[in-house]
Homo-oligomer: A and B are copies of this chain.
Amino acid sequence: MGGDNAPHVEVEGAVAAAREFGVPVTLVGDVEKVQAELARHNCKGLDIEVWHASEVVGMHDSASDAVRKKKDSSIRVAFELVKGGEAVAVVSAGNSGATMAAGMFVLKRMKGIDRAAIAQLFPTVSGKTLVLDVGGNVDCKPIHLVQFAVMGEVYARFVMGVDNPKVGLLSNGEEASKGNELTRETSALLREKPINYIGYVEGRDIFNGSVDVVVCDGFVGNVALKLSEGLAEAVGKMLKAEIKSSFLSQIGYLLSRKAFNNFKKTVDYAEYGGAPLLGINGVGMICHGGSNPKAIKNAIRFAHEYALKGVNGRMAEKLNESFPGDAREREGAQAPDAGTERVAS
Protein backbone atom coordinates (compact mmCIF):
# COMPACT_ATOMS: atom_id res chain seq x y z
CA MET A 1 0.00 0.00 0.00
CA GLY A 2 2.96 2.35 0.49
CA GLY A 3 4.32 2.56 -3.06
CA ASP A 4 4.02 5.70 -5.18
CA ASN A 5 1.29 4.14 -7.32
CA ALA A 6 -0.18 1.65 -4.86
CA PRO A 7 -1.99 -0.60 -5.09
CA HIS A 8 -2.40 -0.24 -8.87
CA VAL A 9 1.07 -1.37 -10.02
CA GLU A 10 1.49 -3.86 -7.17
CA VAL A 11 -1.71 -5.70 -8.10
CA GLU A 12 -0.88 -5.69 -11.81
CA GLY A 13 2.63 -7.01 -11.08
CA ALA A 14 1.32 -9.67 -8.73
CA VAL A 15 -1.23 -10.89 -11.25
CA ALA A 16 1.53 -11.13 -13.87
CA ALA A 17 3.82 -13.05 -11.48
CA ALA A 18 1.04 -15.49 -10.63
CA ARG A 19 0.17 -15.97 -14.30
CA GLU A 20 3.68 -16.11 -15.83
CA PHE A 21 5.60 -17.86 -13.08
CA GLY A 22 2.85 -19.60 -11.07
CA VAL A 23 3.89 -17.86 -7.84
CA PRO A 24 1.12 -17.95 -5.19
CA VAL A 25 0.64 -14.35 -4.01
CA THR A 26 -1.05 -12.82 -0.97
CA LEU A 27 -1.85 -9.12 -1.45
CA VAL A 28 -1.73 -7.28 1.89
CA GLY A 29 -3.58 -3.98 2.23
CA ASP A 30 -6.93 -2.20 2.15
CA VAL A 31 -9.18 -5.01 1.02
CA GLU A 32 -11.61 -2.77 -0.87
CA LYS A 33 -8.94 -0.95 -2.82
CA VAL A 34 -7.07 -4.15 -3.60
CA GLN A 35 -10.23 -5.97 -4.71
CA ALA A 36 -11.15 -3.04 -6.95
CA GLU A 37 -7.76 -3.32 -8.66
CA LEU A 38 -8.02 -7.10 -8.92
CA ALA A 39 -11.39 -6.74 -10.65
CA ARG A 40 -9.60 -5.08 -13.56
CA HIS A 41 -7.69 -8.27 -14.31
CA ASN A 42 -8.64 -11.78 -15.34
CA CYS A 43 -7.51 -13.75 -12.31
CA LYS A 44 -9.24 -16.98 -13.16
CA GLY A 45 -7.20 -19.95 -11.97
CA LEU A 46 -4.54 -17.78 -10.35
CA ASP A 47 -3.44 -18.40 -6.77
CA ILE A 48 -4.05 -14.88 -5.40
CA GLU A 49 -5.35 -14.04 -1.92
CA VAL A 50 -6.08 -10.72 -0.23
CA TRP A 51 -5.23 -10.08 3.43
CA HIS A 52 -6.63 -6.94 5.04
CA ALA A 53 -4.41 -4.35 6.71
CA SER A 54 -6.03 -1.09 7.78
CA GLU A 55 -2.99 1.21 7.94
CA VAL A 56 -0.38 2.48 5.50
CA VAL A 57 3.18 3.65 6.17
CA GLY A 58 3.84 6.75 4.07
CA MET A 59 7.11 7.65 2.39
CA HIS A 60 7.70 10.43 4.92
CA ASP A 61 6.88 8.43 8.05
CA SER A 62 9.85 7.67 10.26
CA ALA A 63 10.75 4.04 9.81
CA SER A 64 10.68 2.91 13.42
CA ASP A 65 7.68 5.03 14.37
CA ALA A 66 5.78 3.57 11.47
CA VAL A 67 6.48 0.05 12.65
CA ARG A 68 5.76 0.69 16.33
CA LYS A 69 2.78 3.01 15.95
CA LYS A 70 1.06 1.55 12.91
CA LYS A 71 0.70 -2.01 14.07
CA ASP A 72 -1.83 -2.83 11.37
CA SER A 73 0.19 -1.33 8.52
CA SER A 74 0.40 -3.40 5.35
CA ILE A 75 4.19 -3.73 5.63
CA ARG A 76 4.12 -4.95 9.23
CA VAL A 77 1.23 -7.33 8.60
CA ALA A 78 3.04 -8.75 5.58
CA PHE A 79 6.07 -9.64 7.70
CA GLU A 80 3.75 -11.10 10.37
CA LEU A 81 2.43 -13.45 7.66
CA VAL A 82 5.99 -14.66 7.05
CA LYS A 83 6.54 -15.05 10.78
CA GLY A 84 3.35 -17.10 11.05
CA GLY A 85 4.38 -19.31 8.14
CA GLU A 86 1.59 -18.11 5.86
CA ALA A 87 4.02 -16.58 3.38
CA VAL A 88 7.70 -17.17 2.57
CA ALA A 89 8.71 -13.68 1.45
CA VAL A 90 7.68 -10.02 1.47
CA VAL A 91 7.89 -7.74 -1.58
CA SER A 92 7.38 -4.00 -1.02
CA ALA A 93 7.61 -0.81 -3.07
CA GLY A 94 6.82 1.28 -0.01
CA ASN A 95 9.07 3.22 2.36
CA SER A 96 12.28 1.18 2.23
CA GLY A 97 13.37 2.26 5.67
CA ALA A 98 10.07 1.08 7.10
CA THR A 99 10.36 -2.20 5.20
CA MET A 100 13.78 -2.76 6.69
CA ALA A 101 12.65 -1.79 10.17
CA ALA A 102 9.53 -3.96 9.98
CA GLY A 103 11.56 -6.91 8.70
CA MET A 104 14.02 -6.63 11.57
CA PHE A 105 11.33 -5.94 14.16
CA VAL A 106 9.04 -8.81 13.24
CA LEU A 107 11.43 -11.48 11.94
CA LYS A 108 14.54 -10.45 13.94
CA ARG A 109 18.09 -10.42 12.69
CA MET A 110 19.91 -13.64 11.88
CA LYS A 111 22.31 -14.95 14.50
CA GLY A 112 25.68 -13.29 13.93
CA ILE A 113 24.18 -10.24 12.23
CA ASP A 114 24.07 -6.83 13.91
CA ARG A 115 22.66 -4.87 10.98
CA ALA A 116 20.49 -5.98 8.10
CA ALA A 117 21.61 -4.65 4.70
CA ILE A 118 20.01 -3.77 1.39
CA ALA A 119 21.87 -5.35 -1.53
CA GLN A 120 21.54 -4.05 -5.09
CA LEU A 121 22.52 -5.65 -8.40
CA PHE A 122 24.37 -3.36 -10.82
CA PRO A 123 24.71 -4.22 -14.53
CA THR A 124 28.25 -4.76 -15.83
CA VAL A 125 29.73 -5.34 -19.28
CA SER A 126 29.78 -9.08 -18.56
CA GLY A 127 27.12 -9.79 -15.95
CA LYS A 128 26.10 -8.33 -12.63
CA THR A 129 27.76 -7.00 -9.48
CA LEU A 130 26.09 -7.11 -6.06
CA VAL A 131 26.68 -4.00 -3.94
CA LEU A 132 25.80 -3.84 -0.25
CA ASP A 133 24.80 -1.94 1.80
CA VAL A 134 23.04 0.61 -0.42
CA GLY A 135 20.94 2.45 2.06
CA GLY A 136 20.25 1.01 5.44
CA ASN A 137 23.27 1.72 7.52
CA VAL A 138 25.24 4.91 7.76
CA ASP A 139 28.15 5.15 10.24
CA CYS A 140 29.04 1.46 10.15
CA LYS A 141 31.67 -0.29 12.24
CA PRO A 142 34.17 -2.67 10.59
CA ILE A 143 32.36 -5.77 11.95
CA HIS A 144 29.16 -4.68 10.17
CA LEU A 145 30.94 -4.52 6.82
CA VAL A 146 32.46 -7.95 7.44
CA GLN A 147 28.97 -9.33 8.06
CA PHE A 148 27.75 -7.69 4.84
CA ALA A 149 30.64 -9.34 2.99
CA VAL A 150 29.74 -12.81 4.25
CA MET A 151 26.05 -12.35 3.41
CA GLY A 152 26.89 -11.00 -0.04
CA GLU A 153 29.22 -13.92 -0.73
CA VAL A 154 26.47 -16.44 0.05
CA TYR A 155 23.95 -14.49 -2.03
CA ALA A 156 26.32 -14.39 -5.01
CA ARG A 157 27.05 -18.10 -4.71
CA PHE A 158 23.53 -19.42 -4.28
CA VAL A 159 21.29 -16.82 -5.93
CA MET A 160 23.52 -15.39 -8.67
CA GLY A 161 25.16 -18.80 -9.24
CA VAL A 162 28.74 -17.54 -9.05
CA ASP A 163 31.42 -20.08 -8.15
CA ASN A 164 33.80 -18.78 -5.48
CA PRO A 165 32.59 -15.17 -5.80
CA LYS A 166 35.17 -12.40 -5.64
CA VAL A 167 34.46 -10.00 -2.78
CA GLY A 168 35.92 -6.47 -2.83
CA LEU A 169 35.82 -3.53 -0.43
CA LEU A 170 34.90 -0.20 -2.02
CA SER A 171 37.67 2.36 -1.56
CA ASN A 172 39.31 5.39 -3.14
CA GLY A 173 42.16 3.39 -4.63
CA GLU A 174 43.35 -0.20 -4.96
CA GLU A 175 46.58 0.14 -3.01
CA ALA A 176 46.47 -0.94 0.64
CA SER A 177 47.69 2.55 1.60
CA LYS A 178 44.40 4.01 0.34
CA GLY A 179 41.05 3.93 2.11
CA ASN A 180 39.78 5.56 5.28
CA GLU A 181 39.83 4.40 8.90
CA LEU A 182 36.76 2.23 8.37
CA THR A 183 38.03 0.44 5.26
CA ARG A 184 41.52 -0.16 6.63
CA GLU A 185 40.21 -1.90 9.75
CA THR A 186 37.60 -3.78 7.75
CA SER A 187 40.14 -4.97 5.19
CA ALA A 188 42.31 -6.52 7.89
CA LEU A 189 39.31 -8.40 9.30
CA LEU A 190 38.15 -9.59 5.86
CA ARG A 191 41.52 -11.21 5.14
CA GLU A 192 40.87 -13.65 7.99
CA LYS A 193 37.45 -14.77 6.80
CA PRO A 194 36.72 -17.88 4.67
CA ILE A 195 35.74 -15.86 1.60
CA ASN A 196 37.54 -14.93 -1.61
CA TYR A 197 38.42 -11.38 -0.52
CA ILE A 198 40.33 -9.58 -3.28
CA GLY A 199 41.04 -6.33 -1.41
CA TYR A 200 40.10 -2.77 -2.27
CA VAL A 201 38.12 -2.05 -5.42
CA GLU A 202 37.28 1.34 -6.93
CA GLY A 203 34.03 2.83 -8.16
CA ARG A 204 34.80 1.82 -11.74
CA ASP A 205 35.14 -1.85 -10.80
CA ILE A 206 31.41 -2.05 -10.04
CA PHE A 207 30.78 -1.93 -13.80
CA ASN A 208 33.71 -3.75 -15.37
CA GLY A 209 32.97 -7.26 -14.14
CA SER A 210 36.19 -7.66 -12.14
CA VAL A 211 34.39 -8.30 -8.84
CA ASP A 212 31.14 -10.08 -7.87
CA VAL A 213 30.35 -8.55 -4.48
CA VAL A 214 31.24 -4.99 -3.47
CA VAL A 215 31.00 -4.09 0.21
CA CYS A 216 30.56 -0.56 1.56
CA ASP A 217 28.67 1.31 4.25
CA GLY A 218 25.11 2.38 3.49
CA PHE A 219 26.00 6.04 3.08
CA VAL A 220 28.56 5.43 0.34
CA GLY A 221 26.45 2.66 -1.21
CA ASN A 222 23.38 4.84 -1.39
CA VAL A 223 25.33 7.70 -2.96
CA ALA A 224 26.74 5.21 -5.49
CA LEU A 225 23.31 3.77 -6.31
CA LYS A 226 21.61 7.12 -6.81
CA LEU A 227 24.57 8.48 -8.74
CA SER A 228 24.42 5.50 -11.12
CA GLU A 229 20.70 5.91 -11.66
CA GLY A 230 21.14 9.64 -12.18
CA LEU A 231 24.02 9.23 -14.61
CA ALA A 232 22.24 6.55 -16.66
CA GLU A 233 19.20 8.83 -16.89
CA ALA A 234 21.31 11.87 -17.82
CA VAL A 235 23.20 9.89 -20.47
CA GLY A 236 19.89 8.85 -22.01
CA LYS A 237 18.62 12.44 -22.06
CA MET A 238 21.82 13.87 -23.53
CA LEU A 239 21.95 11.24 -26.25
CA LYS A 240 18.28 11.79 -27.09
CA ALA A 241 18.79 15.54 -27.37
CA GLU A 242 21.74 15.04 -29.73
CA ILE A 243 19.85 12.55 -31.88
CA LYS A 244 16.86 14.87 -32.17
CA SER A 245 19.09 17.69 -33.37
CA SER A 246 19.41 16.33 -36.92
CA PHE A 247 17.13 14.50 -39.35
CA LEU A 248 19.86 12.07 -40.39
CA SER A 249 20.49 11.14 -36.77
CA GLN A 250 16.80 10.45 -36.26
CA ILE A 251 16.74 8.07 -39.23
CA GLY A 252 19.85 6.42 -37.83
CA TYR A 253 18.23 6.08 -34.45
CA LEU A 254 15.17 4.38 -35.96
CA LEU A 255 17.42 1.83 -37.65
CA SER A 256 19.36 1.07 -34.47
CA ARG A 257 16.38 1.23 -32.16
CA LYS A 258 16.53 -2.47 -31.36
CA ALA A 259 20.09 -2.08 -30.11
CA PHE A 260 18.99 0.85 -27.94
CA ASN A 261 16.12 -1.13 -26.50
CA ASN A 262 18.35 -4.09 -25.67
CA PHE A 263 20.76 -1.71 -24.05
CA LYS A 264 18.00 -0.06 -22.03
CA LYS A 265 16.92 -3.48 -20.85
CA THR A 266 20.42 -4.10 -19.50
CA VAL A 267 20.43 -1.00 -17.35
CA ASP A 268 16.72 -1.03 -16.45
CA TYR A 269 16.20 -1.63 -12.74
CA ALA A 270 12.80 -3.15 -13.52
CA GLU A 271 14.59 -6.21 -14.93
CA TYR A 272 16.09 -6.87 -11.51
CA GLY A 273 12.85 -6.20 -9.71
CA GLY A 274 14.09 -5.30 -6.31
CA ALA A 275 16.93 -5.29 -3.84
CA PRO A 276 17.07 -8.13 -1.30
CA LEU A 277 17.07 -7.26 2.38
CA LEU A 278 19.80 -9.50 3.82
CA GLY A 279 20.31 -10.49 7.43
CA ILE A 280 16.75 -11.10 8.66
CA ASN A 281 15.13 -14.45 9.43
CA GLY A 282 13.09 -14.45 6.27
CA VAL A 283 13.04 -12.97 2.81
CA GLY A 284 12.33 -9.34 1.99
CA MET A 285 12.61 -7.65 -1.39
CA ILE A 286 12.71 -3.85 -1.53
CA CYS A 287 11.48 -2.20 -4.74
CA HIS A 288 11.66 1.41 -5.92
CA GLY A 289 8.71 3.49 -4.80
CA GLY A 290 8.05 4.27 -8.44
CA SER A 291 8.29 0.64 -9.62
CA ASN A 292 6.35 -0.40 -12.68
CA PRO A 293 4.37 -3.67 -12.80
CA LYS A 294 7.30 -5.42 -14.51
CA ALA A 295 9.58 -4.57 -11.59
CA ILE A 296 7.02 -5.87 -9.10
CA LYS A 297 6.54 -9.04 -11.15
CA ASN A 298 10.27 -9.72 -11.29
CA ALA A 299 10.74 -8.92 -7.61
CA ILE A 300 8.04 -11.46 -6.74
CA ARG A 301 9.75 -14.07 -8.90
CA PHE A 302 13.17 -13.40 -7.33
CA ALA A 303 11.77 -13.38 -3.78
CA HIS A 304 10.03 -16.71 -4.43
CA GLU A 305 13.18 -18.32 -5.86
CA TYR A 306 15.28 -16.90 -3.05
CA ALA A 307 12.98 -18.43 -0.44
CA LEU A 308 12.74 -21.80 -2.19
CA LYS A 309 16.51 -22.09 -2.55
CA GLY A 310 16.95 -21.91 1.21
CA VAL A 311 19.60 -19.22 0.91
CA ASN A 312 19.16 -18.11 4.51
CA GLY A 313 20.13 -21.58 5.71
CA ARG A 314 23.33 -21.35 3.69
CA MET A 315 23.91 -17.89 5.10
CA ALA A 316 23.52 -19.13 8.67
CA GLU A 317 26.11 -21.88 8.00
CA LYS A 318 28.57 -19.39 6.51
CA LEU A 319 28.07 -16.97 9.38
CA ASN A 320 28.83 -19.75 11.87
CA GLU A 321 31.93 -20.68 9.90
CA SER A 322 33.04 -17.05 9.60
CA PHE A 323 32.51 -16.07 13.22
CA PRO A 324 33.30 -19.21 15.21
CA GLY A 325 32.86 -18.79 18.93
CA ASP A 326 33.10 -15.02 18.96
CA ALA A 327 29.44 -14.53 19.76
CA ARG A 328 30.30 -12.58 22.88
CA GLU A 329 32.58 -10.27 20.99
CA ARG A 330 29.88 -9.61 18.46
CA GLU A 331 27.35 -8.96 21.18
CA GLY A 332 29.42 -5.92 22.08
CA ALA A 333 28.80 -4.38 18.70
CA GLN A 334 25.13 -5.25 18.75
CA ALA A 335 23.08 -2.34 20.00
CA PRO A 336 19.38 -3.12 20.41
CA ASP A 337 17.52 -2.25 17.24
CA ALA A 338 20.62 -0.71 15.71
CA GLY A 339 19.86 0.51 12.25
CA THR A 340 16.12 0.87 12.63
CA GLU A 341 16.33 4.62 12.99
CA ARG A 342 18.57 5.63 10.13
CA VAL A 343 17.43 3.86 7.05
CA ALA A 344 17.16 4.24 3.30
CA SER A 345 14.71 6.44 1.47
Contacts and interface: CB of A to CB of B under 8 A. Distances in A.
A86 interface: no
Given A204-B230, A226-B203, A235-B235, A345 B175 contact: yes
Contacts of A262: 242, 245
Nearest to A237: B125
Contact of A172 (B138, B174, B260): B138
Interface stretch (A26-34, A246-254, A292-300, A318-326): A246-254
A344 to B, nearest CB: 7
A177 B205 CA distance: 31
Contact of A231 (B226, B232, B248, B257): B232
Contacts of A62: 177
Nearest to A266: B238
A66 B183 CA distance: 25
A208 interface: yes
B344 A173 contact: yes
Interface string A110-132: 00000000000001110000000
Which of A174, A202, A267 is packed against the most chain B CB atoms within 10 Å?
A: A202
Given A181-B139, A227-B227, A255 B249 contact: yes
A112 B250 CA distance: 53
A142 to B, nearest CB: 14
A222 B345 contact: no
Contacts of A124: 234
A170 interface: yes
Given A172-B222, A181-B139, A204-B227, A256 B248 contact: yes
B218 A172 contact: yes
A158 interface: no
Interface residues of A, number: 73
Contacts of A205: 230
Interface in A162-194: 170-175, 177-181, 183
Contact of A255 (B171, B175, B233, B251): B251
A219 B172 contact: yes
A177 B95 CA distance: 14
Given A124-B234, A256-B249, A260-B242, A203 B178 contact: no
A52 to B, nearest CB: 31
A224 B227 CA distance: 7
A207 B224 contact: no
A254 B248 CA distance: 10
A345 B203 CA distance: 13
Nearest to A248: B255
20 contacts: A123-B238, A124-B234, A125-B234, A138-B172, A172-B219, A173-B222, A180-B219, A203-B229, A204-B227, A206-B231, A208-B234, A220-B223, A223-B223, A227-B228, A235-B235, A238-B266, A243-B256, A246-B259, A249-B258, A249-B259
